[in-house]
Amino acid sequence: MEKKVLVFGTFDVFHFGHFFFLKEAKKEGKLFVVVARDETVKKLKRKKPILDEKKRKKIIEMIGLAEKVFLGDKKNPFKIIKKIKPDIICLGYDQKFFVNGLKKFLKKENLSVKIKRIKSFLPDIFKSSFYAPSKK
């Protein structure tokens, strides 16, 4: 049986780095993607995303790498993990949000999930923050 792979991200101003990340994660198995909600992005990054959550979700769906694309839960970012029951959660090389509580959540829920960091793809060139002016 093919492994289930889960990734989380904002995916605002989609670029080659995002594509590389999704493609590398998909190599691990069936890919499920969680796109951050607008209010979550604003709270964590202290700026609104350029594209709204529905547009960002649609872009990920159109790329065609994911089995299913979800919008994140507004209250509990880890809730989807219990629903999907992934074998692997892939994190971006610079992903910081929700990482600290992830291992604690997995242990509390008694979930055996491998966490894998995906290497960077030209991080000095392909990073959303280089394209996006700050919106407050």
Walk along the chain (136 residues) and give the pLDDT tens digit of each residue: 899 999 999 999 898 999 999 999 999 999 999 999 999 999 888 899 999 999 999 999 999 999 999 999 998 889 999 999 999 999 998 888 778 889 899 999 999 999 999 998 765 655 554 444 444 4
pLDDT number for residue 134: 44
Helix or strand or coil: residue 8? strand
Whether pTM > 0.75 for this model: the answer is yes
Helix ranges (DSSP H) in the chain: 16-26, 38-45, 53-63, 79-84, 99-108, 128-131
Helix or strand or coil: residue 7? strand
pLDDT number for residue 28: 97
**127 carries an active-site annotation:** no
Annotated active-site residue in 26, 30, 47, 127: 47
By residue count, the chain amounts to: 136
pLDDT number for residue 99: 83
pLDDT number for residue 124: 61
Query: Domains of the chain (ranges plus CATH)?
Result: 4-100+112-130 (3.40.50.620)
**116 carries an active-site annotation:** no
